[in-house]
Amino acid sequence: MASFPLLPGDSDLDAQNQLNNNVSGYREGGLEAVKFFMTQNIDAYQWLRSDAALLIVFVSDEDDRSVGFDGQAFIDWVRLIRETVYVTAIVNQDVSVSECPGHFSAANDVGIEYMDVANYFGGVVIDICSEDWTQGVAQASQQLQLVEEIKLDHVPVSDQHIEDFVDGAVWPDWIFDSVTNVVTFTVIPPEESLIEVVYNYQ
């Protein structure tokens, strides 16, 4: 594996190599990193769907220091490219509520920008000093809506050339609208399923 994204089956070593190969610099810039990945990284074009909900999880022990790109600018940008956005911020919180006050700079390391973004989208904020992040991340992922339809990127030769798979098994419960080029599920696949639509196109 040479580049993002990490895929099912990748190992802990793969993840560590990605961190070593893709992270550099001396400042936190999570907001601009998301924008750069989504607009400049060729891998993003291959697997990010513009019609899909976007779930972002920021993990940082400092505030964001993106150059010329603060929380409000990020909010304005991401609203233009996604209709549905969920954000979790795992950051240092204000010393008055932090689980580890005194272990970070109250002036520089509170994740204000990340929390502002998460709060704007009704997301989840977790104290980075918490021993358990799972509940907050689960709450964010549970907000994602089940897939009811998929708009195809190309025009199929006919609906006879379309097959739908859910977790590798044929899924027969769907209809195709040739006017909108959309496959709609008459029985919605279960959450956390891998959905694939295979077809011959013109």
- Where are the domains positioned within the chain? 12-142, 149-199
* The two three-digit tokens of residue 59, written as one number: 């993990």
pLDDT tens digit at each of 202 positions of the chain: 345 566 677 888 887 887 777 666 667 899 999 999 899 887 777 777 777 788 899 999 999 999 989 999 999 999 999 988 989 999 999 999 999 998 998 888 999 999 999 999 988 999 999 999 987 777 766 666 677 889 898 999 988 989 999 999 999 999 999 999 999 999 999 887 889 999 998 7
Strand-pair partners of 198? 163
Q: Is 138 exposed, middle or buried (0-12, 13-18, 19+ CB in 10 A)?
A: exposed
Beta bridge partners of 195: 166
Which pLDDT score is estimated for 1? Answer: 37
pTM for this structure? 0.66
Distances (CA, A) of 54 to 42, 50, 84, 102, 170: 18, 9, 6, 34, 27
Beta strands across the sheet bearing 149-151: 149-151, 182-185, 174-177
